[in-house]
Amino acid sequence: MPSPIRRIAINTGGGDAPGLNAVIRATVLAALERGWECVGIRDGYNGVLCPERYPNGGVLRLTAEHVRGIAHLGGTMLGTTNRGNPLSFPTAQPDGSVREVDRSDELLAWFAREGIDALVAVGGDGSLTIADALARKGLRVVGVPKTIDNDLDQTTTTFGFDTAVAFATECVDRLHSTAESHQRVMVVEVMGRYAGWIALHTGIAGGAHAILLPEIPYDLERVAEAITARERAGHSYSIVVVAEGAQAAGGARDVLAPAVAGHAERLGGAGEHVARELQARTGKDARAVVLGHLLRGGSPSAFDRLAALRFGAAAVRALDAGQSGVMVSLAYPNMEYVALAKVAGRMKGVPLDGDTVRTARDLGICLGD
C-alpha cells in the first residue's frame, strides 16, 4: 500500500468544458472530508513550470470557501491551456526560437518538494496522455475525462458533452423558423474535432434533415438530392448540421490553421464550404452558422454537473484506495476505473452500426452517403 495521502493537487488542461468547476469542487470537498489539503495548479502545469507569469502565485490552496457556489459555473477557476505539455514544454531559446523541452522531472521534483502526494488531472485526450506519462514516471495520478467532444474511449460519456448538445439543439430549434420563413438551407457547423458525437446528437434532437460526420465521408450530391426531394414534397427549407471535422469522400478537412509545434490543427470552415456547395447544387439560398466556442460556455446541464461532481468525488476515492494511473470512467450507472494507458492516444468515434446512427437513418435523415 502506498504511503498515506496528506496533500493533493488538481489541474485542468485542454479546452474548457462546462462542469470543470464542479469537478474541482467535488475533489476539494472529498479531499477535505479525509483531512487532506488540496491545491490547484493554474493553467494546466504552467502554474508550476512558469511561476513568473503569476504575480499572485501559480498554485493556490483550495479550501471549502474557495469552491463554494461554483458547481453551476462554466469555465474553470484554475484556468487551462492546450500549450503546456510538461513532457514537451515550449521553451524560448536565447536565439529567439522555441524548442520543446522535457520538464517532467522538474515537475515531479516540485511535487516531492511541496509534499504533494498525488494529482487529479482533469482533461481530454491530450491531458490524460500526459497524466499517463507522469504516472509511469512515478507520480500518483487519477484522471477525469473532460471534453465537449465526447471522443474519449473507455467512458460512456465525458462531462461537457450534454451541455454542448443541449445548447446546439436549442440553436437548431431556433433556426427552423427563420429557415422556413426564407425558404433557405441553414447549415450549422458544430465542434467535435475528428468525432461526430455533437453533430449527430444535435442533428437528431434538433430535427435536422441532413447530418455530416467525420466518420462518414460525404457526397454533397446526396445531400442536395435530399433537399430537392423535400422541396418536391412541399418543404421548402432544410437544416444541415455539419461537424467541423466532416469531409467529402476523397476530399480534405476544412482547416483554419495547420498544426504548429505543440498545438493541434484548428478546424473550421466546413459550414461555409457546405453551404456554398449546396447553394450551387440546389439553387436555394443557403446560410452557414458556426456555433464554435459557444458550445464550450455557459452553465453545465444538471446531467453534466452531477457527472462532474461524481467524477471528482470518485477520483478522490480512487486515490484514497491507493489507486494510480487510472481514469474515472462513467460506466452507466456506475463510476469505475480504467487504466490511463487504455485511454491515452485513443479516440472514440461514433460507431456507424450503433443505435444512434441507425436512428438517424430510420428517421430519414440524410447522412451524406
In the annotated binding site for ATP, the residues are 15, 83-84, 124-127
List, as residue ranges, the binding site. 15, 83-84, 124-127, 147-149, 184, 191-193, 244, 287, 293-296
CB of 50 to ligand F6P, least distance (A): 19
Q: State the minimum distance, in angstroms, from the CB of residue 285 to ligand F6P.
A: 28
Helix (H, G, I), strand (E, B) or coil at 273: helix
What cell numbers appear for 127 in the block? Answer: 491531458
Is the CB of 229 or the CB of 294 nearer to ligand F6P?
294
Assess whether the previous peptide bond of 333 is cis (omega < 30° from 0): yes
Between 60 and 264, CB nearer to ligand F6P? 264
Nearer to ligand F6P, 186 or 267 (CB): 267
Nearer to ligand F6P, 245 or 312 (CB): 245
Annotated catalytic residue 149: yes
Task: Give the integer Cα–Cα distance in Å for 311 and 142.
Answer: 10
The burial of 15, by beta-carbon neighbours within 10 Å (0-12 exposed, 13-18 middle, 19 or more buried), is given as buried
Residue number, 266 or 358, with CB nearest to ligand F6P: 266
Which cell goes with 208? 435536422
- Alpha helices by DSSP H, the chain: 20-33, 46-49, 104-114, 125-136, 161-182, 197-205, 220-232, 270-282, 302-320, 355-362
* Closest by CA position to 31, among listed 304, 311, 312: 312
Which cell goes with 323? 489507486
Contacts of 232 by beta carbon, 8 Å cutoff, 6+ apart = none
Nearest residue to ligand F6P, by Cβ distance, number only = 191
Quote the least distance from Cβ 142 to ligand F6P, whole Å.
21
Smaller CB separation from ligand F6P, 132 or 149: 149
Q: What is d(CA 218, CA 222) in angstroms, rounded to the nearest whole number?
A: 8
Binding residues for substrate, as ranges, are 147-149, 184, 191-193, 244, 287, 293-296
Q: Which of 43, 132, 149, 162 is catalytic?
A: 149
Annotated binding site for Mg(2+): 125
Q: Give the H or E element holding residue 241.
A: strand 238-243
Question: CB-side exposure of 94: number of CA atoms within 13 Å?
Answer: 0
Binding residues vs ligand F6P (CB under 6 A): 15, 82, 124, 147-149, 191-193, 244, 266-267, 296
State the nearest-atom distance from the C-beta of 192 to ligand F6P, in Å.
Answer: 5
Query: Minimal distance in Å, beta carbon 191 to ligand F6P?
Result: 3
How many helices and strands in the chain, by DSSP H and E? Answer: 10, 15
Q: Cβ of residue 322: shortest distance to ligand F6P, in angstroms? A: 32
Question: 349: which DSSP letter?
Answer: P
Residues catalogued as catalytic? 149
